[in-house]
Structure 1
Amino acid sequence: MDFIVFLNKNLKQPLYFQLYSYIKKEIEAGSLVAGVKMPPIRQLAIHLRVSKTTIETAYQQLVAEGYLESRAKSGIWVSPQEEIGLATQSIKHEDDFSVVNEATVRYNFEYGDIAVESFPIKKWKRSINEALSTGRADLLLYGERQGSLALREELAKYLNQSRGISCSPGQIVITAGTQPAISTLCQLLSLSGQRVAFENPGYDGVRTVFANLGCSLSPVTLEEDGINIGELENTGANLVYVTPAHQFPLGMVLSIQKRKKLLQWAESGERFIIEDDYDSEFRYSSQPIPPLKAMDYDDKVIYLGTFSKAFMPGARLSYIILPQQLSSLFKTKLANYNQSSPPLIQNGLELFMKQGDFERHIRKMRKVYQQKHRMLTASINLYMGNRIEMIGQKAGLHLLINVDNRDFMDLKERGLQQEVLIHSPEKFWINRGDCPKSLVMLGFGGLTEMEIREGIERLGKAWF
């Protein structure tokens, strides 16, 4: 095939990125269709008068993103593409309400974005269409109060296989996100006016729900191996919210010693632990960490899970696993509450899971995010070196960096001059002033590997 592409060596963009962008655009436009063989690396390098490394780097990125595929002893070919009708740009939202001209931002290290370019839209559309084709009238109504029984059955099987959690479908409650799950628990446990212990720093979205519903928050500091158990015992709280597998936002894992002590704390009275296992699927340096719920022989752990990171936040699907005693209480105390998540989406997900598409998607996304994570850490090491400290880099879709003796607002302004938007983690501290001013939070889920490398390179130049 002939390549009519002009690589401009005078542009700031590297040549490999120009080539990568050109091929990607041609595939998305339908000019390069599935089954077309790409020119050999050596041949294309000679044709474009660039190094083989330039071609290899562009091809490797396109293979990683699924635009091309490498076949043994056959070469590089254009892959079949999903019919993606989604905008691949992230939706920007500033936490501190500061004004940012989005037109000047090319690289947004926003936490919470996902790799929409890798979403299996065709398979998801098939599941939704299959759900609609049944003609079931209940899909157009309010749905079962605890959520679709068929979905809860699939979830119980999945959690047993993937997380080692043994539970019945009757213990699972489907919700429209983690915050509605917390709201449900506040009402179920009559928490208004009660003391709730909370990791500090911790997820502000959950903390806000507790506060708005009248709970008295008791912040508990973190140590290198997780929440300070001694402090927790002194709070007088009978409920604690924790993220033990990957503490949010600092990233440490709750040690096995502290897991046992935390369970002992709950067992010593009428106490419960809320375990938010928000991104357990994505761990890069070891196997996934077993949840507290898998060690919960006295049934004291309320387990929260979500499809926002592993699947898509737009589905608005999360779930609670209730201890048996609270499951019975739910059926009486909240019996008149309607289900908050649409039955059609629930049924579509149940079919998606039953057909094996969800587990295949998880396996694919582990590879996608691991490659992005490697690119991020490698780029930080290359362009920033020992001038920063990485924090919480072993799992999840974000990490923190400590740019010693620097102020976040200065770092942010310098980044914006290079078209890069960074974010502060200060909102996760109960007292924002307690957050070190030199901390930067880098989310990478919604960026391509090339964008990650380019963005970090620009930050390195702007900061040092």
Structure 2
Amino acid sequence: MIELTPDLDANKPVPLYMQLYEYIKNKILQGHIRKGTALPSIRVLSKHLGISRNTVETAYGQLIAEGYVESKPRVGFIVKELDEELQPKWVPPKIIHTSIEQNIEKPLYDFRYGNIDTSHFPMKVWRKCMNEALDGELEQILWYGERKGDTGLRKQIADYLFQARGIHCSHEQIIIGSGIHQITGLLCQLFSQKTDTVAMENPSYDGIRTVFANHHYRILPISLEEDGLSLEELEKSAANLVYVTPSHQLPLGMVLPIGKRQKLLKWAEKTKAFIIEDDYDSEFRYESKPIPALKALDTPDRVIYLGTFSKVLTPAIRVSYMVLPHCLLEVFQKKFYNYNQPVSTIIQKTLYLFMKYGYFERHIRKMRHIYAKKQQTLITAIREHFGDNATIIGEKAGLHLLMHLKNHNNVDELVIKAEKAGIKVYSATKYWFGEIGKPPAYVLLGFGGMNENDIRDGVRLLKKVWFS
């Protein structure tokens, strides 16, 4: 038996029984209520809709009189079969596609930054951990969970940060969020967009820049030198927040040296400013051991550390986190006392178990080896096919690198030529902002989501497309 929920209005000039009759008739004609379907009894429907039995009985009587419904003893009211000639043809709504959607075809080779290797995701052990999480107490997994995030998961993250990044912090300082944009949005609300100014590396990640812009912050571009952020420019600025990627600058790939890190921390202490450290892919360093995070040196407690599981595990779980200085914890509590935790408690419990049993660290080691091979394949292919015509930038870490072709200063033209041949490469221009003139013609090549054969074939075809 189906449930009928028409929108009946006693204020309309049309009687209620007629509104109900028209509703059921139209549903039958449109094919939404099919032949043989049992309608609710008069008593059930009158109670469900809060109308009199006489109203329902009169509507049903009209449907019976017109042949849409029949009343069967001990069965109820049954929808009858209509002659096909009398049934209007139901035409599904026409979906209008934009020209962009119509022209989208899967490329032969896609060097997109942000793609990861899904073929090596440890699905078997992830499923095992999820099943164990689902066997937990229902109150823990079927509710919103703790505002800051699952305590067990935050403790695991704190342990991991100490071992892998040299960061000493309490789990109480860690806030779990659903992606780096969402958690940066929370961060923006800890300060005042009316009085605060954020400085950002130029170039820098445009996604985070958009979050600050959407929260109406004044954004100051700070130039990059060969070894990273220009501290001279920063010190002359009016910024009291600065966003940096010190372990692997995005997109240029340089590492902020210890001398500059110390000066940056002194600047923050002196000016009472805060440093936002985005450590987005620190796990994947190929030429040396991972560099300790800036937060590991943060004795003044002025660094807000951002981390994510998107690159090292998968963006699908939507888990990121930040480590707040102690002085901001009370502000966080006051600002967000009425907020609920945005990440699924089941996912948090699963990730907690995944880390607790050591699967996370094993997965990192495995993926570091796999990505190192892919990166070396890409570098070797570029050198083989482009030789001295190409300069490689930012190859020490991460899941992307930049390539600059000699005598090719129109990066948009290179991107278009490649796309016509079925190859997706990307301009790095979007990372630059402010009054800088024309950004360098860098092509961004991500390799995380490609296999080694496709990397080699893609680069070989790029050479043919760009130099034919």
What's the TM-score bracket when you normalise by the shorter of the two chains?
0.7 to 0.9
- Backbone CA RMSD of aligned residues: 1.7
Is it true that 1:345 corresponds to 2:347 in the alignment?
yes
What is aligned with 2:208?
206
Bigger mean CA deviation after superposition, 125-134 or 358-367: 125-134
| Cα distance per residue 1:125-156 (max 9 Å; x no partner) | 11111100124223121111000011001111
> Is the 1:188–1:334 contact (alpha carbons within 8 Å) kept by the matching residues of 2?
no
- What does 1:58-457 align with in structure 2 at a 5 Å threshold? 101-103=103-105, 105-406=107-408, 407-431=410-434, 434=437, 436=439, 438-457=441-460
Q: C-alpha distance in 2, partners of 1:463/1:431?
A: 30
| Cα distance per residue 1:365-393 (max 9 Å; x no partner) | 00110010010000000011110111111
What is aligned with 2:26?
none
Amino acid at match of 1:111: Y
What TM-score comes out, normalization by structure 1 length?
A: 0.77
Superposed displacement of residue 191, structure 1: 3.3
> Is the 1:241–1:275 contact (alpha carbons within 8 Å) kept by the matching residues of 2?
yes
Amino acid at match of 1:112: G
Q: C-alpha distance in 1, partners of 2:101/2:429?
A: 17
SS in 2 for 1:459: helix
Q: C-alpha distance in 2, partners of 1:326/1:193?
A: 17
Amino acid at match of 2:185: S
What is aligned with 1:461?
464
Q: C-alpha distance in 1, partners of 2:121/2:129?
A: 14
Bigger mean CA deviation after superposition, 399-408 or 117-126: 399-408
Q: C-alpha distance in 2, partners of 1:226/1:262?
A: 11
> Is the 2:284–2:397 contact (alpha carbons within 8 Å) kept by the matching residues of 1?
yes
Q: C-alpha distance in 2, partners of 1:131/1:104?
A: 37
Q: C-alpha distance in 2, partners of 1:192/1:151?
A: 35
> Is the 1:201–1:428 contact (alpha carbons within 8 Å) kept by the matching residues of 2?
yes
> Is the 1:306–1:319 contact (alpha carbons within 8 Å) kept by the matching residues of 2?
yes
Q: C-alpha distance in 1, partners of 2:260/2:114?
A: 28
Q: C-alpha distance in 1, partners of 2:162/2:361?
A: 13
> Is the 1:404–1:438 contact (alpha carbons within 8 Å) kept by the matching residues of 2?
no
Can you give the 5+ residue segments of structure 2 that lack an aligned partner in the other structure?
1-98
Amino acid at match of 1:390: I
| Cα distance per residue 1:140-188 (max 9 Å; x no partner) | 2111100001100111111111111110010000011111111111111
| Cα distance per residue 1:282-326 (max 9 Å; x no partner) | 011111111110001111111000000011011110101011111
Q: C-alpha distance in 2, partners of 1:175/1:350?
A: 14
Q: C-alpha distance in 1, partners of 2:102/2:465?
A: 18
Structure 1 residues 404 and 340 mapped into 2: Cα distance closer, same or farther (>3 Å)? same
Amino acid at match of 2:295: K
> Is the 1:389–1:402 contact (alpha carbons within 8 Å) kept by the matching residues of 2?
yes
Superposed displacement of residue 256, structure 1: 1.2
Q: C-alpha distance in 1, partners of 2:187/2:447?
A: 31
Superposed displacement of residue 269, structure 1: 2.4
Q: C-alpha distance in 2, partners of 1:203/1:224?
A: 18
> Is the 2:432–2:439 contact (alpha carbons within 8 Å) kept by the matching residues of 1?
no
Amino acid at match of 2:214: N
Q: C-alpha distance in 2, partners of 1:279/1:101?
A: 33
| Cα distance per residue 1:382-438 (max 9 Å; x no partner) | 011110111111110000011133212221232124321111111111249745362
Amino acid at match of 1:145: R
Q: C-alpha distance in 2, partners of 1:211/1:154?
A: 33
Following TM superposition, the consecutive aligned residue runs of length 4 or more in structure 1 with deviations greater than 3 angstroms are 97-102, 431-437
Q: C-alpha distance in 2, partners of 1:165/1:309?
A: 20
What is aligned with 1:40?
none
Q: C-alpha distance in 1, partners of 2:218/2:202?
A: 14
Give the percent of matched residue pairs that are identical in Structure 1 and Structure 2: 50
SS in 1 for 2:430: helix
Amino acid at match of 1:245: S
Structure 1 residues 122 and 332 mapped into 2: Cα distance closer, same or farther (>3 Å)? same
> Is the 1:316–1:341 contact (alpha carbons within 8 Å) kept by the matching residues of 2?
yes
Superposed displacement of residue 196, structure 1: 0.7
Structure 1 or 2, whichever has the larger Rg, is 2
Q: C-alpha distance in 1, partners of 2:463/2:108?
A: 16
> Is the 2:221–2:434 contact (alpha carbons within 8 Å) kept by the matching residues of 1?
no
SS in 2 for 1:430: coil
SS in 2 for 1:197: strand
| Cα distance per residue 1:49-81 (max 9 Å; x no partner) | xxxxxxxxxxxxxxxxxxxxxxxxxxxxxxxxx
Structure 1 residues 159 and 237 mapped into 2: Cα distance closer, same or farther (>3 Å)? same
Superposed displacement of residue 103, structure 1: 2.8
Superposed displacement of residue 460, structure 1: 1.1
Superposed displacement of residue 273, structure 1: 0.4
Structure 1 residues 431 and 237 mapped into 2: Cα distance closer, same or farther (>3 Å)? closer
SS in 2 for 1:456: helix
SS in 1 for 2:426: coil
> Is the 1:193–1:214 contact (alpha carbons within 8 Å) kept by the matching residues of 2?
no
Amino acid at match of 2:301: D
> Is the 2:166–2:296 contact (alpha carbons within 8 Å) kept by the matching residues of 1?
yes
SS in 1 for 2:271: coil
What TM-score comes out, normalization by structure 2 length?
A: 0.76
> Is the 1:408–1:440 contact (alpha carbons within 8 Å) kept by the matching residues of 2?
yes
